[in-house]
Amino acid sequence: MPSLGGWEWVIIAVVALVLFGGAKLANFGKNAGKAIREFKEESKTGSVEPPATPAEPPATDEGPKA
């Protein structure tokens, strides 16, 4: 598979801009950057959160049925 050149990247960018619009692409970039930053911070600290335990169902105290 040949690598993409300059004009191919320009065409891909224009098609993405037409399909999704500028606002959605900007939000996508911001969210992707935030996710990468959080991942790097967590991998540096090495803190691992314990898995969430499922909540126990509430006990029902119905008493005798008449």
- C-alpha–C-alpha distance, residues 6 and 12, integer Å: 10
Helix (H, G, I), strand (E, B) or coil at 2: coil
Note the pLDDT of residue 66: 58
Q: Over the stretch 7-59, which tens digit does the pLDDT of each residue have?
A: 998 999 899 889 988 888 889 889 999 999 999 988 887 766 666 677 676 66
Reference 13, options 2, 29, 24, 25; nearest CA is 25
Please report where in the chains the tokens 């029902």 appear, as a residue: 60
Residue 25: exposed, middle, or buried by beta-carbon count in 10 A (0-12, 13-18, 19+)?
Answer: middle
